[in-house]
Amino acid sequence: MPLHDALHAVRAHADEFIAFRRDIHRHPELPFEEHRTSALVAERLESWGYRVERGLGGTGLVAQLRRGEGTRRLGLRADMDALPVLEETGLPYASCRHGVMHACGHDGHTAMLMCAAKALAASDDWSGTLNLIFQPAEEFGTCHSGAVRMLEDGLFDKYPCDAIFAMHNMPGHPQGQLLFRDGAMMASSDKVRIVLHGRGGHGGVPHKAADPVVAAASLVMALQTVVSRNVDPQQTAVVTVGVLQAGHANNVIPQSAELELSVRTLDSAVRKRLKQRIVNLAHAHAQSFELTAEVDYQRGYAVLVNTGPETELARQVGVELVGADKVVAQGPALTGSEDFAFMLERCPGSYLLIGNGDGDSAGACMVHNPGYDFNDDNLAIGAAYWTLLARRFLV
């Protein structure tokens, strides 16, 4: 299929799906609450001839379309949920829900895949099975996220795929640039809660107490050595203490102090080692201050690992679509996390990025920021990418 035909097929509908995207943006829905969004998506897909199963993973859905005698099965995934952020863009289509906004561009991801879905439904130059996965609750942040719920509901049992792909916008990169990476692309993400239990007392006689505040402060510093002294410098790992809470009065030594950590890495063996060191360090540190430690270590998203052959195909389609000068063939790994990783543990595939804008452009505002907005100039490019990838895979 000539490149200009792929672009033409989606550009003919670009305005329709920009309006669709902005409608979703104006009516954002939090994880597992995407009822309106899911219904809008399902109704349109059904009108184009897709067989749609609703309610997969709670508020998710899968739309399937078959053409010809081809036996290959392709999965394309878009996320639909918003974030608990108060929007400050001032846009005419800004969120009408106080404290909820599409601050990560999932409205754009949904619209890109919908635009491609319409173009593919109107063509017969591909052969095989197309499975479009509209996922809820990517932002849920735990191992009970939307991807996991869809898998538990039999996603790949009902809709087996030979390969699966997903795309995310990326502020800080030129608009329309496509970024790929073989292997580990996004980090695992674990949450750790540590409570140091001491013995409270009067601030004027600290020797009669067992001070968890001093122990917590010391533990924060000790945790900084976990990566620098236990992880190969060639590896990537992050341990961040994001919460430290203790006490309510300046003259009272509290009974306990609480820390919350974010632990990220790009390697499963390193992930295991970090857990071992953090748990041991917390207990040993507490003991050294004559305290006790309670450690709750919660596994979150897995390391997202792209498979080689699928990433090479994705890369080739990117070069064909936008040209080699707008493709980053092997981009850097990221310490953000994505629950698409769980789908990739079950099926070969690849996760790619599309630049949302850099420099002073509007699209350069970072995700999860009150001023963020998806760059509508990417809608046609992203939709054309999915259309072209489907036609290259389903032959």
Q: How far apart are CA 296 and CA 195, in angstroms?
A: 9
Task: Kindly report, residue by residue over 226-242, the tens digit of the pLDDT.
Answer: 999 999 999 999 999 99
pLDDT average, residue stretch 291-306: 98
Whether the per-residue pLDDT at 357 is higher than 80: the answer is yes
**Average pLDDT across the chain, whole number:** 96
Q: What is the pLDDT of residue 3?
A: 59
Query: What residues are paired with 133 via a beta bridge?
Result: 62, 77
Tally of structural domains, the chain: 2
Same domain, 118 and 263: no
| pLDDT higher than threshold 60 for residue 363 | yes
Pair (220, 279) in one structural domain: yes
Looking up tokens 């936008």 gives 322
On the question of pLDDT at 142 being above 90, the answer is: no
Q: Looking at the structure, do residues 195 and 209 belong to the same domain, yes or no? A: yes
Q: What pLDDT shows up at residue 286?
A: 97
Q: Is the pTM of this model over 0.85?
A: yes
pLDDT tens digits along 58-115: 999 999 999 999 999 999 999 999 999 999 999 999 999 999 999 999 999 999 999 9
Residue 2: pLDDT over 60: no
Q: Which of 270, 273, 291 is nearest to 282 (CA)?
A: 291
Q: List CB contacts of 224: < 8 A, sequence separation 6 or more.
A: 239
Q: Give mean pLDDT, residues 186-205.
A: 98
Domain residue limits at 32: 3-185+303-393
Q: 21 with 170, same domain?
A: yes
Instruction: Count other C-beta atoms under 10 Å from residue 130's C-beta.
Output: 25
Write down the pLDDT at residue 7.
79
Q: Is the pLDDT of residue 121 over 80?
A: yes
CATH number at residue 283: 3.30.70.360
pLDDT of 361:
83
Using pLDDT thresholds of 50, 70 and 90, give the confidence band for residue 217. Answer: very high
Domain match, 271 and 333 both: no
pLDDT of res. 314: 99
Phi-psi region of 316 (alpha: psi -120 to 50; beta: other; left: phi over 0): alpha
Minimal CA–CA distance to 286: which of 218, 226, 236?
218
Residue 166's pLDDT band (cuts 50, 70, 90):
very high
Residues 233 and 371 in one domain: no
| 178 lies in the same domain as 196 | no
| 44, 135: one domain | yes
pLDDT of residue 118: 97
- For position 108, which CATH number holds? 3.40.630.10
Higher pLDDT pick, 142 / 394: 394
Verify that 46 and 111 share a domain, yes or no. yes
* Residue 268 in this model has a pLDDT that exceeds 70: yes
In DSSP notation, 151-200 reads HHTTHHHHS--SEEEEEEEEETB-TT-EE--SEEEE-EEEEEEEEEE-B-
What pLDDT score does 360 carry? 84
pLDDT in tens, 314-352: 999 999 999 999 999 999 999 999 999 999 999 999 999
Do 251 and 385 lie in one domain? The reply is: no
- Indicate the pLDDT class of residue 4, thresholds 50, 70 and 90: low
* 363 and 383, same domain (yes or no): yes
How would residue 281 be classed by pLDDT, with cut points 50, 70 and 90?
very high
pLDDT tens for each residue of 5-17: 777 778 888 999 9
pLDDT of res. 11: 86
Considering 284, 301, 318, which residue would you say is the last residue of a domain? 301
The reported pLDDT for the residue numbered 265 is: 98
Q: Is pLDDT above 70 for 307?
A: yes
